[in-house]
Amino acid sequence: MPTDVDVLVIGGGISGLATAFGLQRRDARVEVLDAGTRAGGVIGTVHRDGALYETGPNSALDTTPLINELLDQLGIRDERADASAVAATRFIARGGKLIALPMSPGAFLTTPAFTLGAKLRLLREPFVAPAPPDAEESIAAFVRRRLGTELSGVYAGDPEQISVPAAFPRLHALEQKHGSLIKGQIKGARERRQSAEKAKNTAGSFSFRGGMQTLTDALARAVG
């Protein structure tokens, strides 16, 4: 085990690598430990027979100016590839048909993507009491409690095992500060404008010409 370091970072995925990179830029001596054979965690890009495919996430959301700041520091901003504007419309399959996901309150009320029960359940969300501040709740339990069973998302892991405070700190903070996700989104809009940040539902997505592993490889090289 290294003894001449200030910080040991356990896990060489995107979070561990970015943490180590930030600490090093603050002149800390950092060592990153990971059980895998390469850095990057679940992020991985494979090039095979002229094709590129991702073994993990295939894009990221451009929610903050800090992203481009990081890419500039790593020297890979010119590798960034922004998604086409048509990708802003997302679809789900329901009843054998593709249905565009609603992106506004009005569209949500009229969409066939959700049942009437799910829509009424969401309207109740501002009145659902927040969990105790020190509660260790899974994202699955959190969503069921606040939004019901019909709404879900995509995450690289078991939602029954992923901690809301650990993996979704902003979601946890919204509930604790405002008592409601909907109230928090509305009241947080001013804060995002002041910090030049964007909400996830309005932020564009991006990747890299060589795949998402471009980012973790660059971080791993910088960290050493």
Average pLDDT, the chain: 88
Q: Which residues pair with 30 in a beta bridge?
A: 7
CA distance 52 to 209: 10
Kindly write down the DSSP assignment for every residue of 127-156, as one continuous string. Answer: GSPPPPTT---BHHHHHHHHH-SS-----S
> Does the model's pTM come out above 0.75?
no
Would you tell me how many other CB atoms lie within 10 Å of the CB of residue 43? 23
Confidence of residue 210 (pLDDT cuts 50, 70, 90): very high
pLDDT digits (tens, 9 = 90+) for 108-148: 888 888 888 888 888 888 899 998 988 899 988 988 899 88
CA distance 220 to 224: 6
